[in-house]
Structure 1
Amino acid sequence: MTPFAPTALFDLDGTLTDPYPGISGSILYAIDKLGRPPVDEITLRAAIGPPLEASFAAMLGGDPLLAKEALAHYRDRYAPIGLYENKVFDGIPEMLANLKNVGVQLFVASSKPRLFCERIIEHFGLGSFFVRVHGSEMDGTRSNKADLITHVLESEAIDRSRCVMIGDRRHDIDGARKNGIKVIAVGWGYGSAEEFEETPPDLIVHDVPALVPAVSAELGL
């Protein structure tokens, strides 16, 4: 890590990889274990990105105890199976290599538990691009995106004026805003146009190759 180097923080789900099969399958498994009827695709897609315990609470009538039970069932399937039911978006390795080659240091900053993030990044051969992988803890610590970004910025001594967050949901935008850093939204993930209108990023990028010039411009390279 280089002090004061230009830095990009990457969300994982919906930004670097498409996790829909593994996450949706594990949510449906958890809901079934609780004896509840399956939820629809709109609900499943909305659950990709935000902290999952809160999404379960919304599915289960706001019951926090049921949400915790659902999360435990979810992890029973997700840890051995679901996290590998995933796909790196086309062009991501090349984009990361190009950013690294122009001097941008890269970190993962995901609300997903760090243990799962590390497994996914290594499984798909992306580990060499990142200085470090950051995520929440299994007990829910730093599952709030703003808290996570604060932790990354402080623990890595990152210059906020030379840092940009890249993600696909309003939580990424909100987290970046609360930490005073720039934010780019990607159009291939799970955020909607309405979501970005309500919570505007600095820039929306609609295809992976366009991220390199976009990040370079935001960081003044």
Structure 2
Amino acid sequence: MNHIILFDLDGTLTDPKEGITKSVQHALQAYGIDEPDLDKLCPFIGPPLSDSFKEYYGFSEAQAREAIDHFHEYFTKQGMFENKVYPGIREMLARLKDAGLTLAVATSKPEPFAIQILEHFDLLSYFTLVGGADMEEIRVRKGDVIAYTLDHLGTTPEESKVIMVGDRKHDIIGAHENQLPCAAVLYGYGSREEFTENGADYQIETVEELGDFLMKWGEV
């Protein structure tokens, strides 16, 4: 049986805080909203952007979609590269791939951006497939992205042993919608409370612990 690990991108493989929060800051300025404290914009890391603009700033659906365009004005020029790979991630991915496990990305970030980021940080070669949102954010919910990724891998949870690795509740919910377990990582932007409330199957403290866990999970 094939063993497949689906990785979230933001907050799981890389720390995108600077680029995402500055892109949100830029978008908000288009509406006369000045938010100098980037830490207050960290909740935007992970979930679909449209949901976050509506939840945290009361935007309508139309405003939220327009705000995404303003977000991309900054993000596509420089924000996507104001990012850093978590220490130990590269070594962990190499270890898992060398063990014969299939690695893929399932992210709510638009797929072309995810590919660019992974390529920029020399991580793309570790992954068989990168599954992401479409640019219109119609396919953006994590459950839909996971289903899309599995479909393009040509498999199902019944045919392969699959696990989702992420750092927010959306990863847990999306995994469970697809009858998959989720390993939630605490070094990202989620919390133990968030993971417990949403029924994370595993809670992982560090990148090193994640690598050891996934190696054991992948044993035939």
Does the alignment reach a TM-score above 0.5?
Answer: yes
Q: 1:84: which partner in 2?
A: 81
Between 1:191-200 and 1:208-217, the stretch displaced more is: 208-217
Pair 1:118 & 2:110 matched = no
Residues 182, 218 of structure 1: 8 Å contact kept: no
Task: Say which SS state the counterpart of residue 21 (structure 1) adopts.
Answer: helix
C-alpha separation between the residues in 1 aligned to 2:206 and 2:217?
16
Deviations 1:156-175 (CA, angstroms, capped at 9, x unpaired)? 12342511100000100001
Q: 1:211: which partner in 2?
A: 210
Pair 1:162 & 2:151 matched = no
Equivalent pairs: percent with the same residue? 41
Q: TM-score, normalised by structure 2?
A: 0.94
Counterparts of 1:40-119 in structure 2 under 5 Å?
41=38, 43-119=40-116
Q: 1:198: which partner in 2?
A: 197
C-alpha separation between the residues in 1 aligned to 2:39 and 2:22?
14
Pair 1:24 & 2:8 matched = no
Report deviation, 1:43.
4.1
Report deviation, 1:42.
5.5
Q: 1:136 aligns with which of 133, 137, 140?
A: 133
Pair 1:172 & 2:171 matched = yes
- Unaligned runs of 5+ residues in structure 1 are none
Residues 10, 167 of structure 1: 8 Å contact kept: yes
Q: TM-score, normalised by structure 1?
A: 0.94
Report deviation, 1:37.
3.1
What letter matches 1:195 in structure 2?
A: E
Residues 7, 158 of structure 1: 8 Å contact kept: no
Residues 164, 215 of structure 1: 8 Å contact kept: no
- Aligned-pair Cα RMSD in Å: 1.5
Between 1:209-218 and 1:85-94, the stretch displaced more is: 209-218
Q: 1:146: which partner in 2?
A: 143
Deviations 1:29-85 (CA, angstroms, capped at 9, x unpaired)? 110111123275554111110001111122331412221121111100001110000
C-alpha separation between the residues in 1 aligned to 2:155 and 2:16?
28
Task: Say which SS state the counterpart of residue 133 (structure 1) adopts.
Answer: strand
C-alpha separation between the residues in 1 aligned to 2:61 and 2:156?
37
C-alpha separation between the residues in 2 aligned to 1:109 and 1:43?
26
C-alpha separation between the residues in 1 aligned to 2:209 and 2:107?
22
Residues 5, 103 of structure 1: 8 Å contact kept: no
